[in-house]
Amino acid sequence: MQVRFNIKETEGVFNLSGKFIFDAHREFLSGFHTLLNTPGIQSINIDLGGVSYLDSSALGMLLNAREQTAARNVHLQLTKCTGRVREILDIANYGKIFKLS
């Protein structure tokens, strides 16, 4: 999986591409914590548009990200959820705990 991120004022955008699986946990956590620890950050959008597949460990990483952002009062959103990724998120009922777009 490839990870890129950028910051515009108070918003961080976290772009993921490839297979979001257990092997990607170091890259995901490193990028996510960089965004979360940026002074003044108020929202993080995790862009899943380039993700072709995610497994149960990826779902767990997303839940952990939600817990960490909630603890810091940072808004978290999953964006560009389409195709197979959207199906997996829907099956896991992630629409009830995340804002999906």
45-66 confidence digits (pLDDT tens)? 999 999 999 999 999 999 999 9
The residues, any chain, with a CB within 8 Å of residue 19's CB and separated by 6 or more, are 1, 51, 52, 53, 54, 55
- What confidence tier does 69 reach under pLDDT thresholds 50, 70, 90? very high
- Per-residue confidence (pLDDT) for residue 85, from 0 to 100: 96
Q: How far is CA 22 from CA 1, 25, 30, 47, 77, in A?
A: 10, 6, 14, 18, 21
State CA 70 to chain mean position distance: 13
- pLDDT tens digits, one per residue of 9-53: 999 999 999 999 999 999 999 999 999 999 999 999 999 999 999
Q: Where are the domains of the chain?
A: 2-100
DSSP-assigned letters across all residues of 48-67: EEEEEEE-HHHHHHHHHHHH
Q: Which two tokens stand for residue 20?
A: 């979001």
The C-alpha atoms of residue 90 and residue 9 are separated, in whole angstroms, by 31
- Per-residue confidence (pLDDT) for residue 28, from 0 to 100: 95
Nearest to 78 by CA among 62, 64, 96: 62
**What is 2-100's CATH superfamily?**
STAS domain (3.30.750.24)
- Per-residue confidence (pLDDT) for residue 54, from 0 to 100: 94
- Per-residue confidence (pLDDT) for residue 31, from 0 to 100: 93
Q: At what angle do helices 25-36 and 56-71 cross, to 10 degrees?
A: 10
